[in-house]
Amino acid sequence: MSQERKKVMIYLRPEAYANEKAASEKIKKHSDMARTALLAGLALGEVDSRLPGLLASLLTKESNPDLIRKMLASFLEVPAATEERPAPVAPGKEQVVVESASARNLANSLPD
């Protein structure tokens, strides 16, 4: 059984960007974190393509976990992609929100 592997190399510039400095310090402590972070970023991009870059810009030494949680929460409920405008919901009927699988997985991985 062979496994196909892809090598991914990136260069962080910790002296130039605060978020890359914070990432560099975390990677020094947890070497497997870089691989996991790359995969997490790809999964977040499935929810919304803007999300990985937005979250990366929030990463600094003084990162506020509550701000990051709020940003994630604002992206978690993803409406279904439709070409037509949705019909108005009749009063008294419950509205169903369709979530992507990535949004559900991300929501389930966050603490309550």
Residue-wise pLDDT tens digits, 6-46: 888 889 999 999 999 988 888 888 878 888 888 899 998 98
pLDDT at position 13: 93
Kindly state whether residue 90 falls inside one of the protein's structural domains. Answer: no
C-alpha 110/C-alpha 69 separation (Å) is 8
Among residues 71, 54, 52, the alpha carbon closest in space to that of 110 is found at 71
Kindly state whether residue 45 falls inside one of the protein's structural domains. Answer: yes
R_g of the chain, CA atoms, integer Å: 18
Report how many domains make up the chain: 1
Domain ranges, residue 46: 11-75
Kindly tell me the burial class for residue 15, based on how many C-beta atoms sit within 10 Å of its own C-beta (0-12, 13-18, 19 or more). exposed
Kindly tell me the burial class for residue 3, based on how many C-beta atoms sit within 10 Å of its own C-beta (0-12, 13-18, 19 or more). exposed
Kindly state whether residue 88 falls inside one of the protein's structural domains. Answer: no
pLDDT tens digits, one per residue of 41-94: 999 898 889 889 988 888 887 878 888 888 888 877 655 555 555 566 566 655
Kindly state whether residue 84 falls inside one of the protein's structural domains. Answer: no
Region 90-105: mean pLDDT is 62
Kindly state whether residue 63 falls inside one of the protein's structural domains. Answer: yes
How confident is residue 3, by pLDDT bands cut at 50, 70 and 90? confident
Kindly state whether residue 35 falls inside one of the protein's structural domains. Answer: yes
Kindly state whether residue 105 falls inside one of the protein's structural domains. Answer: no
pLDDT at position 30: 80
Kindly state whether residue 3 falls inside one of the protein's structural domains. Answer: no
C-alpha 36/C-alpha 38 separation (Å) is 5
C-alpha 85/C-alpha 71 separation (Å) is 26
Residue position matching structure tokens 């929030």 = 58
Region 96-109: mean pLDDT is 66
Considering the entire predicted model, what is its pTM? 0.51
C-alpha 17/C-alpha 2 separation (Å) is 39
